Amino acid sequence: MRYEEEAARRKEILKDFFGGPAQADPPGEWIEKLVQFEALMMKYRAAIREVTTKLEVLNDEFSVSAKRNPIESIQSRVKRPYSIAKKLRSMGQPANVDAIRRYLNDVAGVRVICPFLDDIYAIADMLLQQDDIHLVKKKDYIQHPKPNGYRSLHLIVEIPVFFSQGKELMRVEVQIRTVAMNFWASLEHQIQYKNDLPSDPEIRAELLDCAERIAETDQRMFQLRNRIQQARQTHPAGQSDQTNALPDSFQP
Ligand code: GTP
Ligand code: MG
């Protein structure tokens, strides 16, 4: 990384997380805080890699055994220093690395996008069955959608990551949702952040209605896929050799 970029990144951590001086070259006393913060973020990035690899392996295996990918895509992020500090402040906790470890579950975040509803639970079960993964908390916003219509399965998991000094248990927030749920959540997020209209009851009702239509479509697509699968099993001769003959990138 270029010196200017490095300096800008340090400046952001110092100012946004520690509330320290916003200078490119921090004085000695702040260097130690920076080093600790960066070391912790490196560990969260490592934990994201571990979880992502597990998910990719499951997806690969599934695509061989069932000729279908239960995962459409995986996104991940480490929470920004500013958001970490803001959340700790809202909890009445100090901005330091111990507080991050103790009180925050979502510094490392992985989002898994699945084609169909049942893929969500299949992926969650396969991940949680692994004996090095420990489930800390599960929130099923599919069985119990949020009042605004938000749907997703949220898992807070703890995963061991091996470093030179030994093993550390790192927490990762895994959000699993369908393409359709992700479509709604992404747009709702944009609307929320661009203005404060969602407090308007009409807009809230409209968003909720969209979420419900999307959920209904998810159900219909899931049932449609099941019907097609059953038809293939009952009439193996009519099996779609055509579909199988297509290269992966053309598969629906
Ligand atoms: P946070 O303080 O936001 O982390 O909430 P929480 O600790 O109560 O966790 P929860 O499981 O409810 O939500 C965590 C994350 O899920 C959020 O940071 C968002 O990424 C996502 N999320 C939750 N609710 C909504 C919502 O209504 N709309 C959208 N777009 N995303 C949501
Ligand atoms: Mg969060």
Beta carbon of 227 within 6 Å of any ligand 1 atom: no
Confidence of residue 24 (pLDDT cuts 50, 70, 90): low
Nearest CA to 40 out of 92, 112, 89, 95 is that of 95
- Non-local (6+) Cβ contacts of 145 within 8 A are 151, 211, 215
Q: For the domain 11-179, what is the CATH code? A: 3.30.460.10
Please give the average per-residue pLDDT across 58-69, as a whole number: 89
Which of 67-81, 184-198, 203-217 shows the lowest per-residue confidence on average (mean pLDDT)? 184-198
Around Cβ 158, how many Cβ atoms within 10 Å?
16
Per-residue confidence at 1, pLDDT binned at 50, 70, 90? Answer: low
Question: Which pLDDT band, with edges at 50, 70 and 90, does 20 fall under?
Answer: confident
What percentage of the chain exceeds 90 in pLDDT? 67
Hey, where are the domains in the chain?
A: 11-179
Please give the Cα distance from 36 to 18 (Å, whole number): 12
pTM above 0.85, yes or no: yes
Residue among 173, 60, 66 nearest 112 (CA): 173
Residue 158, ligand 1, Cβ within 6 A: no
Query: Under a CB-based contact definition with an 8 Å cutoff, are residues 141 and 152 in contact?
Result: yes
pLDDT digits (tens, 9 = 90+) for 183-209: 999 999 988 866 666 578 888 899 999
Q: Whose CA is closest to atom 20 on ligand 1?
A: 175
Angle at which helices 28-65 and 117-129 cross, to 10°: 110
* Nearest by Cα to 59 from 68, 50, 51: 68
- pLDDT bin (cut points 50, 70, 90) of residue 6 is confident
The shares of helix, strand and coil residues in the chain, as percent rounded to the nearest 5, are 60, 15, 25
**Encoding tokens for residue 32?**
């130690």
User: Helices 179-194 and 201-234 meet at what angle, rounded to 10?
Assistant: 170
Q: Ligand 1, closest atom to CA 139?
A: 11
Please tell me if the CB atom of residue 185 comes closer than 6 angstroms to any atom of ligand 1.
yes
Give me the count of residues in the chain. Answer: 252
Check whether 216 has a pLDDT greater than 90. yes
Percent over 70 (pLDDT), the chain: 90
Sort strands 73-78 and 108-114 into parallel, antiparallel or unpaired.
antiparallel
CA of 152 to the centre of ligand 1 (A): 10
- Beta strand extents in 6-84 (DSSP E only): 73-78
